[in-house]
Chains A and B, each alone.
Chain A
Amino acid sequence: MPDIAIRAEKVGKKYLLRHQQSQTRRYVALRDVLADKARRLFRPRRDGETNPPPSTEEFWALKDVDFEVRQGEVLGVIGRNGAGKSTLLKLLSRITEPTTGRIEMAGRVASLLEVGTGFHPELTGRENIFLNGAILGMSRLEIKARFDEIVAFAEVEKFLDTPVKRYSSGMYVRLAFAVAAHLQPEVLIVDEVLAVGDTEFQKKCIGRMQTVAQNEGRTVLFVSHNLQTIRQLCERVLLLQHGRVAFVGEPHAGITGYLNQGGTGFSNAIDLHTYPRQMSPEGGRLISITFLDEQGQPAIRLPATSSLQVEVRFRAERPLKRLDIPMAVTHAEGMRVFSETYSDQFSKADVNPGDYMLRFTLPLRFLKLESYFLTVALIEDGRACDQVDGLPLPEIFDEQADPHLESHRWGVVRIPVEWQPLESSAPAVTIQPAP
């Protein structure tokens, strides 16, 4: 009889967005609050006033989220950036509280929202293990009991008494994950930790998560953009879209839904208007990106032998000089695979204000059967106008592929090598050492 470990009912989280404020300001200055109060006091608002006080807008990061997770289940949480994944995890780990609804959880919850939280650079590895353990909710006795295991898992025996500020980033992450992986909560929340560390260590982490879920009967909530890992680890996935649950169930269907997302069902355009960016667009703006197969149909899954057509729509808000449009592909593990640019083939364009479309074709035979992400940018005379990252490419499949062989391929791309058929050769001449 599977017990329910997490039950969420009608969970919502509302944020108030302040307008009339620069994006970079992270906190309110008292001055503004006072100035605003004073302004209202001395100058009561008249109709038609040109400068209204800063308005706030409600934004529901999560709305009406219902789901259940069984005891011992590994649930993958997927969704585009800004879909509400992080907010959901923050609610579950009690960092913020929901605006509406109710969540019921069995026992202790530990979150790995970011490994190494609370690590202090001046403290040694040993000290940080204790500190971090305590922060994550372990008692001193528990940490002591598991200390050797943690150290062995992290492979930092030699550097235990070195301040972690002298650690390499790999060691740092390994130690941080090791502490967290040895927590004994009933529910473990993991966010994107596997994006770091080397492949060997990632395998260990995945193994550790499987052990935690299967042998120890713990529930794991796993958030990642790495669809390969999601497929490998999760029994079910929860797909979030614009703060709502778009799908809960079997991973394959969920992942397909994820890759197909952003469209209305008719086209496969990914709307970039509200897509999160590192910078705010200036001068030019990417509007949408569409993935099509060779027949020009919306692409969700594509055979490895075919090619992918990408349509990029953008708007020039003013005349743009020497415009270049680069694209880049990143592997799911975070490695930058390659980049190409419009000016590799054509000269940079001077464009007038207006809407434009650019098409390019990407042959898929150079990619492995893994997840990749696309980056596209608009560059005016060497300066970026707009850039979007992390657009998941359609899933690449190959019916004939041997899964064992595929999982043993090196690297992050495939270079088709021309093999010649096997033939028999003349007996090899053995060279005798001179007497």
Chain B
Amino acid sequence: MIPSRLIIEAGKAEQHYWADLWRYRELFYFLSWRDILVRYKQTTIGVLWAVLRPVLTTAVFVFVFGRLAKMPSEGVPYPVLVFAAMLPWQFFSGALTEASNSLIANANMISKIYFPRLIIPASAIIVALTDFLISLLLLAALMVLYRIEPTWRLLLLPVFTGVALLASLGAGLWLAALNVEYRDFRYVLPFFVQFGLYVSPVGFSSSVVPEQWRLLYSLNPMVGVIDGFRWSITGVETVIYWPGMVVSLFLVALLMSSGLWYFRKTERAFADVI
């Protein structure tokens, strides 16, 4: 077999990009596998952490928003209401954090070996996705406990998960690329994530937001995702605010495509500046 010739030319690193991405799919698989393996090594309760974190946060939120603030729950048991939102939120924030720091964490690989850099933030998100899948079991348990019958809407859960994934990947690409040059974003991110938890309708239903503000509120792409989760999990009681959903979806698409654009634009200089 005649080996294919590889041509490196100034300013033309682009042309093999997507083909290379496909060629390096095993690396993507291995990096995700590594991060998953390593995540809970040398912890005594191991993967239980994936369950414990959302449970504890949910408990606090149920207490604060449900018991103390007595927020309306639209007939859904408050723990279910919060947990249905906590799942996508923790997935989003975890994936975003992992993806943003992924390039810096793998700096030595980037400065020593060639591969499409997109693999690194993408595989970082897979780790958050596994945590998400594990805590999904807990959701099932909760649904049984509160006797919530699954409807056909549950089938759309993967779609909303996909939207959350794209949102975190899009924002993650931006932050990961910016982080390479400006480490400031490393310090901005934890604040941003914490802020987002309260701004997003995690502890309360988004219906408490006054009608005239809802479209504006939907500028937060996680609003659409969280509403979608509640809608598909809890069944008929909650109503989706469709204009907001469209805005959210549109923003996710924008975030993803602009993130990809910026990442690709800055990618070739990563090894020089990281």
- Using a CB–CB cutoff of 8 Å, the interface residues on chain A facing chain B are 15, 27-31, 33, 90-109, 111, 113-114, 117-118, 120, 122-123, 127, 130-131, 134-137, 139-140, 163, 186
Give 10 new A-B contacts, CB below 8 A, not counting A98-B10, A123-B37, A135-B109: A27-B181, A30-B184, A92-B8, A97-B10, A102-B7, A104-B6, A118-B109, A122-B38, A135-B115, A186-B3
- Using a CB–CB cutoff of 8 Å, the interface residues on chain B facing chain A are 3-13, 24, 26-27, 29-31, 33-34, 37-38, 41-42, 106, 108-115, 180-185, 268-269, 271-274
Instruction: Tell whether, in the assembled complex, residue A97 and residue B13 are in contact, meaning their CB atoms are under 8 Å apart.
Output: yes
Total contacts A to B, CB within 8 angstroms? 122
Instruction: Tell whether, in the assembled complex, residue A95 and residue B37 are in contact, meaning their CB atoms are under 8 Å apart.
Output: no
Given the interface contacts A98-B8, A113-B113, A135-B109, does A120 sit within 8 Å of B38 by beta carbon?
yes
Which of B8, B37, B185 has the most chain A CB within a 10 Å cutoff? B8
Instruction: Tell whether, in the assembled complex, residue A120 and residue B10 are in contact, meaning their CB atoms are under 8 Å apart.
Output: no
Instruction: Tell whether, in the assembled complex, residue A127 and residue B37 are in contact, meaning their CB atoms are under 8 Å apart.
Output: yes
Instruction: Tell whether, in the assembled complex, residue A104 and residue B7 are in contact, meaning their CB atoms are under 8 Å apart.
Output: yes
Instruction: Tell whether, in the assembled complex, residue A93 and residue B30 are in contact, meaning their CB atoms are under 8 Å apart.
Output: no
Question: What residue of chain B has the Cβ atom nearest to residue A9's Cβ?
Answer: B9
Instruction: Tell whether, in the assembled complex, residue B113 and residue A105 are in contact, meaning their CB atoms are under 8 Å apart.
Output: no
Query: Could you tell me the distance in whole angstroms from the C-beta of A90 to the nearest C-beta in chain B?
Result: 7
Residues of B within 8 A of A140 (CB): 26
Given the interface contacts A27-B273, A94-B114, A95-B111, does A105 sit within 8 Å of B181 by beta carbon?
no
Residues of A within 8 A of B7 (CB): 102-105
How far, in angstroms, from A90 to B10 measured CA to CA in the complex?
Answer: 14
Partner of B268, one of A30, A96, A100, A111: A96
Residues of A within 8 A of B274 (CB): 27
Q: List 29 A-B contacts (CB under 8 A).
A: A15-B272, A27-B181, A27-B183, A28-B182, A30-B182, A30-B185, A91-B8, A95-B110, A96-B271, A97-B8, A97-B12, A97-B268, A98-B9, A101-B10, A102-B8, A108-B6, A114-B108, A118-B106, A118-B109, A120-B38, A122-B41, A122-B42, A131-B31, A135-B27, A135-B109, A137-B24, A137-B27, A137-B115, A139-B26
Given the interface contacts A29-B183, A117-B112, A135-B115, does A105 sit within 8 Å of B5 by beta carbon?
yes
Residues of A within 8 A of B115 (CB): 135, 137
Instruction: Tell whether, in the assembled complex, residue A90 and residue B30 are in contact, meaning their CB atoms are under 8 Å apart.
Output: no
Question: What residue of chain A has the Cβ atom nearest to residue B110's Cβ?
Answer: A95
Residues of A within 8 A of B33 (CB): 131
Partner of B112, one of A15, A30, A95, A186: A95
Given the interface contacts A123-B34, A123-B38, does A111 sit within 8 Å of B113 by beta carbon?
yes
Instruction: Tell whether, in the assembled complex, residue A109 and residue B184 are in contact, meaning their CB atoms are under 8 Å apart.
Output: no
How far, in angstroms, from A136 to B109 measured CA to CA in the complex?
Answer: 10
Residues of B within 8 A of A95 (CB): 110-114, 271
Residues of B within 8 A of A131 (CB): 30-31, 33-34
Residues of B within 8 A of A15 (CB): 272
How far, in angstroms, from A28 to B30 measured CA to CA in the complex?
Answer: 32
Given the interface contacts A91-B8, A113-B112, A117-B109, does A27 sit within 8 Å of B182 by beta carbon?
yes
Instruction: Tell whether, in the assembled complex, residue B113 and residue A118 are in contact, meaning their CB atoms are under 8 Å apart.
Output: yes
Given the interface contacts A96-B272, A134-B26, does A102 sit within 8 Å of B10 by beta carbon?
yes
How far, in angstroms, from A62 to B133 measured CA to CA in the complex?
Answer: 50
Instruction: Tell whether, in the assembled complex, residue B10 and residue A99 are in contact, meaning their CB atoms are under 8 Å apart.
Output: yes
How far, in angstroms, from A114 to B107 measured CA to CA in the complex?
Answer: 13
Question: What residue of chain A has the Cβ atom nearest to residue B272's Cβ?
Answer: A96
Residues of A within 8 A of B13 (CB): 94, 97
Query: Could you tell me the distance in whole angstroms from the C-beta of B183 to the nearest C-beta in chain A?
Result: 6
Residues of B within 8 A of A102 (CB): 7-10
Question: What residue of chain B has the Cβ atom nearest to residue A138's Cβ?
Answer: B26
Residues of A within 8 A of B26 (CB): 134, 139-140
Query: Could you tell me the distance in whole angstroms from the C-beta of B88 to the nearest C-beta in chain A?
Result: 29
Please list the 8 inter-chain residue pairs (A to B) with the smallest Cβ-Cβ separation, ordered nearest first: A107-B3, A94-B114, A134-B30, A30-B182, A30-B184, A103-B8, A113-B112, A105-B6
Residues of A within 8 A of B271 (CB): 90, 95-96
Instruction: Tell whether, in the assembled complex, residue B38 and residue A106 are in contact, meaning their CB atoms are under 8 Å apart.
Output: no
Residues of B within 8 A of A98 (CB): 8-10
How far, in angstroms, from A134 to B24 measured CA to CA in the complex?
Answer: 8
Instruction: Tell whether, in the assembled complex, residue B30 and residue A130 are in contact, meaning their CB atoms are under 8 Å apart.
Output: yes
Residues of A within 8 A of B106 (CB): 118
Residues of A within 8 A of B183 (CB): 27, 29
